[in-house]
Amino acid sequence: MKNVLPRSAKLVIALAFAISLSVLGVSAFADDDDCRDPVAKWQARETLKKRLEAHGWRVRRIRIDDRCYEVRAIDDQGRRVEARYAPATLKLLEFEVEDEEHEQREHHQPHSHSHSHSR
């Protein structure tokens, strides 16, 4: 089956996802996608896993890649997703939806400005 969602609908979905994460106290936008957090300030991977699971995600794995947490999961809509988080703040840095049928990915790179939400 061909993906028939227009680009604007995909953007709306990605933004809705980012807004839903703000409920977690996790900012969906970061200043950049580099993880420079001191290891002593990192939060446990289990903390991130529990937050994502509370929003309906089935977390397949969380690994460290380039000093960031990289999550592979099935989101609350049943899509295979990959996301990168800053380990100290658990801010979302990058989000991708995987398209199994066509082996393509919808790539969402957060904007360069930050939207902070207090916990």
- 78-104 per-position pLDDT tens digit: 999 999 999 999 999 999 998 765 444
* Residue 69 located in a structural domain: yes
Contact 47, 90 (CB under 8 A): yes
Range of the domain at 35: 25-108
- 59-85 per-position pLDDT tens digit: 999 999 999 999 999 999 999 999 999
The sign of the torsion formed by the CA atoms of 52, 5, 33, 29 equals negative
pTM: 0.59
DSSP code of residue 100: T
* Residue 15 located in a structural domain: no
Average pLDDT, the chain: 75
Question: According to the model, what pLDDT value does residue 52 have?
Answer: 97
Q: Give every CB contact of residue 78 below 8 A, 6+ residues apart in sequence.
A: none
Question: According to the model, what pLDDT value does residue 92 have?
Answer: 95
- Burial state string for 77-106 with b = 16 or more CB within 10 A and e = fewer than 16: eeeebbbbbbbebbbbbbbbbeeeeeeeeb
**C-alpha separations of 3 from 49, 57, 108, 117 in Å:** 29, 22, 17, 33
Contact 34, 100 (CB under 8 A): no
* Residue 116 located in a structural domain: no
* Residue 114 located in a structural domain: no
* Residue 12 located in a structural domain: no
The total number of structural domains that make up the chain: 1
* Residue 100 located in a structural domain: yes
